[in-house]
């Protein structure tokens, strides 16, 4: 599994990046995700920042479309798009993955 690292471009235009962030709510212990835009706002707020811990960044464009558009600039990605980025569970389809995330990670 390849970790996505956000770029300067993602930071400048988080709403365009398509990136979302898995984070842990340190108070409740729960893991959830939010768009990068919201995450960067939290990072600018000292009081809220300390309540959340980064788990990983996920860029669906980066992880789900490597095969058709692969070029020299794009790293080879072996990640299964139906694989849960949190625990590695491999779903049957998108719906199954959604169900898994909402039941197992809430
Ligand atoms: Zn999972």
Q: Residue 6 Cα, ligand 1 centroid: separation in angstroms?
A: 22
Q: Residue 16 Cα, ligand 1 centroid: separation in angstroms?
A: 26
Segment (H or E) for 99: helix 94-104
| 25 and 66 within one domain | yes
For residue 84, the enclosing domain spans: 78-106
| 36 and 13 within one domain | yes
| 53 and 28 within one domain | yes
* DSSP secondary structure string for all residues of 64-91: H-HHHH--TTSPP----TTB-TTT-PBP
| 6 and 27 within one domain | yes
| 87 and 69 within one domain | no
Question: Which pLDDT score is estimated for 30?
Answer: 93
Higher pLDDT, 28 or 4: 28
C-alpha–C-alpha distance, residues 57 and 62, integer Å: 11
Which residues, chain by chain, have CB under 5 Å from ion ligand 1?
84, 86-87, 89
| 90 and 56 within one domain | no
| 1 and 48 within one domain | yes
C-alpha–C-alpha distance, residues 80 and 75, integer Å: 15
| 70 and 92 within one domain | no
Write out pLDDT tens, residues 51-96: 999 999 988 877 654 444 445 555 555 566 888 888 888 899 999 9
C-alpha–C-alpha distance, residues 22 and 69, integer Å: 26
- Considering its fold, how many domains does the chain have in total? 2
| 93 and 70 within one domain | no
Predicted confidence band of residue 39 (pLDDT cuts 50, 70, 90): very high
| 92 and 50 within one domain | no
| 6 and 56 within one domain | yes
Q: Tell me, what DSSP letter sits at residue 95?
A: H
Question: Which pLDDT score is estimated for 72?
Answer: 53
């Amino acid at each position: 599994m390849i970790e996505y690292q956000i770029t300067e471009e993602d930071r400048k235009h988080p709403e365009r990046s398509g990136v979302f962030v898995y984070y842990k709510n340190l108070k409740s212990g729960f893991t959830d995700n939010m768009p990068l835009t919201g995450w960067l706002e939290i990072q600018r707020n000292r009081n809220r920042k300390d309540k959340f811990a980064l788990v990983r960044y996920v860029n669906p464009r980066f992880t789900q479309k490597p095969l058709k558009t692969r070029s020299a600039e794009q790293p080879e990605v072996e990640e299964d798009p139906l694989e849960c980025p949190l625990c590695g569970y491999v779903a049957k389809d998108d719906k199954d993955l959604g169900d898994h995330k909402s039941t197992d990670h809430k």
